[in-house]
Structure 1
Amino acid sequence: MQLSVSFENTRDVAPKSGPVTVGWFLNTTKGSIIYDPPERVRSVEQNKSHAKSASRCPAVINMESRYFMVKAPFDIHLAFVRDNEGKPALRNLNGNMSGIRANKLSQQIHITPEHEWRYPGVPTIQVMTPYVMISDEPVYVTQLSCFMHYQRDQLPGTIFGGRYPINVWPRPLMWAFEWHDTDKPLKINRGDPWFYVYFETMPQDRAVVLTETERTPELLEYMDMISGAVNFVNQTFSLFQAAEERRPETLVKPIRRSKG
């Protein structure tokens, strides 16, 4: 099957069968120990005592099989404030008890310029993540909130992600949050469900196998080619075709870890 950014472009070739292999990796090794592997969302491991339990429902199992959860790598406990000039700013409410140094926190989390907010008075903050997804056949990833995990303390806003083809556009995921109730703090503990990734395949009923993949020279060179494009053009989707033409045939090389 040809590599394509459009599922419709694959209609003239025989569809593949069997699981789709999706690779994931961290685009940095510095401090990478704090980032846990993505976990498949599974409720089937809950109540199995009754045949009619929701955790046994084929529809539920099929849906959950395409969702993977990423945990928060560090504590986030922030207040939204404005400085003396009225400019948006963040205050770390953990203070001296914070598990992350102030200079590192400011490197990881930032507020987008106010004129870029989608809604007036609703700040957007972003957290860089090192998670990258890649595939060797047409697969779209969608990043979204952890709607299947109950949170006793609800976030004071909503997260928003995006949808794009990882076979031609592998890039680090960004956690973006719109802070609707700025009177309330934003608090997320390390290890809490942070966000989901959902995979679309062709055909749609194919299973997804998520595996850690090597950061090969070919993969890093390809990522370097497309990185930063958003800083130069407004519509990066227009570059997908050009990226596809310059893409190596194979980029996914699963890591084989020895046991014992």
Structure 2
Amino acid sequence: MDINLSFERPESGPKSGPITIGWFLTSNKGAVLYDPPERVMFRPANRVHAKSASRCPAVIQLESRYFMVKCPFDLHIGFKRDEKGKAQLINRAGTGSSIRGNKLGEVLTLVNETEWRSPDRPTVQLQLPYCFIADELVYISQISAFAHYRKDPLPGTIFGGRFPLNLWPRPLMWAFEWHEPEKDLVLRRGEPLFYCQFEGEGPDRPVQLVEAERTPELQTYMDQIGGVVNYVNQTFGLFKAAEALRPKTLLKPKQRDG
């Protein structure tokens, strides 16, 4: 039996070029803090030798599929329980913190203990305004920054996730499962926070990321699907209903003056 493993893309048509994905911030508040997502590029240490990993097609293909979102804040957080056993976060930076104490709770929250995956592993969430949209089927996978070396490893793992961003544009958050709560959680502004991997219908098409306009049509659609996680358990079951509501075009690249 002959098996055709050719992945040649058509020379013309809507799926002949790169997959265009738009990114935008769901709020303009503090927008200067949030850097644009960047394509993951490993340090080009040795590109001279023909067998260098920097010139390996497999490595180049891997890099082309991942985009990095950087941490917008400096955070030094500890975990403790009070005299009644209630879980709490501690701002270890104190008065030296770059975030005012009364604002910390707006960006970093401790998930209700009843929702932790394991009773001895606290879960925290960092609220972010990053959102992605496309006008064709594209899955986004949020994963840890595996290619970034940390001298002091994080004391736990992030919660990843995968969903079709063309139907379910929603702001991403950074969710962290604290495996060693006796160790502090330290995040630094500008360091990779997580990666996004994008998958279209075919494996061969490259990905291009553009900044998108937060148009009234896009905002209306997001309002229609927003917050449903608070009312149903299986939001994936709403994809067909969301598709029926979705306008054909939601991605409008932002035009820069000058």
TM range (shorter): over 0.9
Query: Does structure 2 conserve the Cα–Cα contact (< 8 Å) formed by 1:144 and 1:161?
Result: yes
Gaps of 5+ in 2: 1-12
The residue number in structure 2 matching 1:240 is 239
The residue number in structure 2 matching 1:182 is 181
Separation in structure 2 between the aligned mates of residue 91 and residue 44 of structure 1, nearest angstrom: 36
Separation in structure 1 between the aligned mates of residue 139 and residue 238 of structure 2, nearest angstrom: 16
Is the counterpart of residue 158 in structure 1 residue 157 in structure 2?
A: yes
Q: TM-score, normalised by structure 2?
A: 0.93
Q: Which amino acid aligns with 1:50?
A: H
The residue number in structure 1 matching 2:214 is 215
Q: Identity across aligned pairs (percent)?
A: 59
SS in 2 for 1:222: helix
Q: Deviation per CA, 1:114-173: give whole Å up to 9, x if none.
A: 111111210000111100010000000000100011111100000112000000000000
Q: Deviation per CA, 1:193-215: give whole Å up to 9, x if none.
A: 10000001111211100110000
Q: Which amino acid aligns with 1:221?
A: T
The residue number in structure 1 matching 2:230 is 231
Separation in structure 1 between the aligned mates of residue 109 and residue 87 of structure 2, nearest angstrom: 10
Separation in structure 1 between the aligned mates of residue 46 and residue 253 of structure 2, nearest angstrom: 33
Q: Which amino acid aligns with 1:17?
A: S
| 1:107-126 matched pairs, under 5 angstroms | 107-126=106-125
Q: Deviation per CA, 1:14-70: give whole Å up to 9, x if none.
A: 982210000000000011100000000012744212221101110111111010001
| RMSD (Å), alpha carbons | 1.2
SS in 2 for 1:79: strand
Q: Which amino acid aligns with 2:63?
A: E
Q: 1:53 to 1:156 in 2, by over 3 A?
A: same
Query: Does structure 2 conserve the Cα–Cα contact (< 8 Å) formed by 1:16 and 1:203?
Result: no
Q: Which amino acid aligns with 2:92?
A: L
The residue number in structure 2 matching 1:3 is none
Q: Which amino acid aligns with 1:30?
A: K
Aligned residues: 246
Separation in structure 1 between the aligned mates of residue 108 and residue 81 of structure 2, nearest angstrom: 16
Query: Does structure 2 conserve the Cα–Cα contact (< 8 Å) formed by 1:146 and 1:194?
Result: yes
SS in 2 for 1:170: coil
Separation in structure 2 between the aligned mates of residue 108 and residue 141 of structure 1, nearest angstrom: 23
SS in 1 for 2:236: helix
SS in 2 for 1:21: strand
Separation in structure 2 between the aligned mates of residue 258 and residue 67 of structure 1, nearest angstrom: 29
Q: CA deviation at 1:256?
A: 2.1
Separation in structure 2 between the aligned mates of residue 234 and residue 28 of structure 1, nearest angstrom: 26
SS in 2 for 1:176: strand
The residue number in structure 2 matching 1:71 is 70
* Ranges of 4+ aligned residues in structure 1 off by more than 6 Å: none
SS in 2 for 1:244: helix
Query: Does structure 2 conserve the Cα–Cα contact (< 8 Å) formed by 1:69 and 1:193?
Result: yes
